[in-house]
Structure 1
Amino acid sequence: MSISRRGLIFGLPLFLAGCASTTIDPQMDYAALPQEKFPMKPVPIDRIKPELRRTEVAYETTHKPGTVVVDTPARRLYYVLENGRAMRYGVGVGRTGLAFRGSAYVGRKAEWPTWTPTANMIRRDPAKNRRFAAGMPGGPNNPLGARAMYLYREGNDTHFRIHGTNQPESIGHAMSSGCIRMMNHDVIDLYARVKVGDRVVVIQETRPA
């Protein structure tokens, strides 16, 4: 049985679409962040589709609080809370054939991280990526955005990350090189919740009705 199929049986949320949400002021969620190393401007709320905005929702699942669940087909990430609740975020995911699947854990975290393209990324697009083989320092133009959480298995870096992005228009789409992208404001919020060692489950298939 594949990892993704096991995740479907044991980990798929029992209650997804149409979840009741709490009353949250999205204007505050996406306000300016002047205290950041690279200060961030507010994001006009009308530029974020309602279904992609950070929201606390009802979410019944077998996963314990503190687990990160990525529903790839729905382009949603859930951080499991207590009492059948979760924080829901819109995400961008990997293109077909490149997306991560199965279980991992957060091996480390970084603020305004350095980005280094993988060997596969350089091979696929050498003109774009080879010049950054030694790494690109963190900053507003860095493709990892404001925060990164590095996914590990059995002590080894998978080279997949949950990270921010300097391409917010990619949220809600499958266009990354395999990593899970979040709006910078959202990844800062998730980063503050997630601890090193927390489990991450990435679901690639939706359970049949």
Structure 2
Amino acid sequence: MMNRRSFALAGTAGLLSACARPLMAPVAPPAPPKPAAPAVPFLPMPDFYGAVTDEPYPIPAVPPGVVPPHLWRQEVANPFPNEAPGTIIVDPDAGLLHLVESKTRAMRYGAGTGRDAFAWSGDARLQFRRKWPRWKVPDEMIARRPELEPYSVANGGMAPGPGNPLGARALYLFQNGEDTLYRIHGACEPEYLGKAVSSGCVRLLDQDAIDLYRRARHGATVRVLPSTLPATLSA
């Protein structure tokens, strides 16, 4: 065991040995700077995500580098081969919406879904569709956000156009003949695509909402799969 005296001697020896180093010890030349990593170019967005100018209201282009390619609209192998053509299936954990085209093919879209306390799952019926719909705020939402009272059902809702959170198209979902108050609609901000941030609705880019509107079938089944992710506390 090292006592106090031996510890002091060892410390002194260490200091002496340090001082005994040559005053002009050779210094290694500095390493040359590493070349900067080349910037990874953004993949160009497909043309169908460009600005839309033939609608009643302008729709801006989706900026490059914001939406990952797996959330771009694309035809894929149908992961739900037992579902009837026309069925719409939303996977909130993956942030994807599939429209079944046939037993083997489906159209896939990136989708924003409901955050904690607003997520829902189950089957609904596509009752009707609207171009540039009015946003009529449900009473339940007004109870949480009184500032939305001017856009209530009683007040006629918010007029369509830029700033309307339903965007360019909306698909209305019913269960047992009653409005669920949930919609599949446009106006999803590109940075939120694929994430659970909405108040329960399924949100798409406006370009994709227009495409889905064109393909969707009246009366189709809309199935929202249950989330298997652990719930988190909302801020």
TM-score using structure 1 length: 0.81
Q: Pick from 60, 65, 86 the counterpart of residue 85 of structure 2.
A: 65
Cα contact 2:188–2:203 (8 A) shared by 1: no
Instruction: Tell me which residue corresponds to 1:149.
Output: 171
Matches within 5 A, 1:86-97: 86-97=106-117
Q: Which residue of 1 aligns with 2:127?
A: 107
The answer on 1:85 being equivalent to 2:100 is: no
Q: Paired residues, what number? A: 182
What is the CA distance between 1:168 and its match in structure 2? 3.1
Return the alpha-carbon distance in structure 1 between the equivalents of residues 129 and 190 of structure 2: 21
User: What SS does the aligned partner of 1:96 have?
Assistant: coil
CA-CA distance at 1:196 after TM superposition: 1.6
- In the alignment, the residues of structure 1 paired with residue 190 and residue 164 of structure 2 have an alpha-carbon distance, to the nearest angstrom, of 13
CA contact (8 A) 1:53 1:90 kept: yes
Return structure 1 stretches of 4+ with deviation > 6 angstroms.
none
Q: Does 1:37 align with 2:56?
A: yes
Q: Work out whether 1:191 is the aligned partner of 2:213.
A: yes
Q: Which amino acid aligns with 1:34?
A: T
Q: Which residue of 2 aligns with 1:49?
A: 68
List gaps (5 residues or longer) in structure 2: 1-43, 229-235
The percentage of aligned residue pairs carrying the same residue is 43
CA RMSD of aligned residues (A): 1.8
Q: What is the CA–CA distance in structure 1 between the aligned matches of 2:192 and 2:136, rounded to whole Å?
A: 20
Q: Are the counterparts in 2 of residues 106 and 199 from structure 1 also a CA contact under 8 Å?
A: yes
SS of the counterpart of 2:65? helix
Q: Distance in 2 between matches of 1:103 and 1:119?
A: 23
User: Which amino acid in the other structure matches residue 55 of structure 2?
Assistant: E
- Structure 1 stretch displaced more, 116-125 or 27-36: 27-36
Partners of 2:67 and 2:191 within 8 A in 1 = no
Q: 1 CA distance for matches of 2:55 and 2:139?
A: 31
| Higher RCO (CA 8 Å, separation ≥ 6 residues) | 1
Q: How does the TM-score come out when normalised to structure 2? A: 0.73
Q: Residue 191 of structure 2 aligns with which residue?
A: 169
Q: Counterparts of 2:50 and 2:103 in 1: how far apart (Å)? A: 28
Letter in 2 for 1:153: Q
| Partner residue, 1:11 | none
- Alignment correspondent of 1:140: 162
Q: Which residue identity is paired with 1:185? A: Q
Counterpart code for 2:93? P
Gaps of 5+ in 1: 1-24
Whole-angstrom distance in 2 between the partners of 1:60 and 1:180 = 19
